[in-house]
Homo-oligomer: A and B are copies of this chain.
């Protein structure tokens, strides 16, 4: 009876948390046996295991994650830091769905997602350092990949499970998951050309993000391949910029007959401008977006868009990250294997054709 203990009611305090020792006492075994039983490890008879499980359920006991973490077990949490104005999150359809996809997979593995919004990239890196330093997370998801991103070398140095969302390229030796923007671009351009458009504009968002440059290149290349004229228009960030860019396009002598916007938000702002200028969509101008959302769907006309299936994206990312975490646990050599798991996974985008491009008589 070495594991029995005096039960100190300690006044009117909260009831003492039930621990592994309580289960062990009740089952007439030691804590170690309970540990073996609940973790599905050999060393206890089936009968004893069943008895222990029953008691645990009855007493409503669950092992303390803190105590487990102390013995080196995974903490069952992954982190994601966002270094952007928080208000932006609310506007971006992509984000919510992505998180949902992440959660869906993480939840089934009993992992939780920890999020933090910070002011700067430095603060983001510092957060990674602390999270791993304190063992608050088993791995992290890094979003908003930029060109020559300082977070990449920082995470490489930490040598901890980290997954980059974005690419291909610019993620160093880190594993990455990305939607193939080149494929997405091809889908959009091909669609427009297929409808008869010969002069196609692309209204591009923040140049800072890696995918913007990638789309630019793919766009011009594909237009050229198909013998169409690609017009590149930089719009900076958000709706404001997109509206201005659209006005700019309309003012041109040889205006395009189709515009591809970088996001749903931009496409809506652009459409608004077209409407105000009496230009009918899709009859006089075809409109499409790289990003789908409820807004794109319910807008009239509904906007043709790339269904990146952000939810699916999130699912793939979570699955991949869990694989990485798992691999990391198996072998204690960080560097070599880190590189080995640095493999990249791409998700194929799909084109969702809607009214904003359908039946256009191109000109």
Give A residues with C-beta under 8 Å from B.
10-14, 17, 60, 62-67, 69-70, 75, 77, 86-97, 99-101, 103-104, 107, 112-118, 130, 133-136, 159, 238-240, 243, 265, 268-269, 272, 275-276, 293-295, 298-300, 310-311, 332-334
The 4 closest A-B pairs by CB, nearest first: A86-B100, A90-B96, A89-B96, A66-B69
Q: Is the CB of B96 within 8 A of A88?
A: yes
**Min CB–CB distance A91 → chain B (angstroms):** 5
Q: List 17 A-B contacts (CB under 8 A).
A: A14-B332, A14-B334, A64-B70, A86-B103, A89-B96, A89-B97, A89-B100, A90-B96, A90-B294, A91-B293, A96-B96, A99-B115, A103-B117, A112-B114, A269-B298, A272-B299, A272-B300
Q: Is the CB of A64 within 8 A of B100?
A: no
* Number of identical protomers: 2
Asked whether A159 and B299 contact (CB < 8 A) given A112-B116, A133-B62, the answer is: no
Given the complex, which residues of B lie within 8 Å of A62, measured CB to CB? 130, 133-134
Q: Is the CB of A332 within 8 A of B117?
A: no
How many Å lie between the Cα of A64 and that of B72 in the bound state?
Answer: 12
How many Å lie between the Cα of A100 and that of B135 in the bound state?
Answer: 24
Given the complex, which residues of B lie within 8 Å of A95, measured CB to CB? 89-90, 96
- Which of A87, A104, A239, A268 is packed against the most chain B CB atoms within 10 Å? A87
Given the complex, which residues of B lie within 8 Å of A91, measured CB to CB? 93, 96, 293-295
Q: Is the CB of A12 within 8 A of B332?
A: yes
Q: Is the CB of B89 within 8 A of A13?
A: no
**Min CB–CB distance A126 → chain B (angstroms):** 11
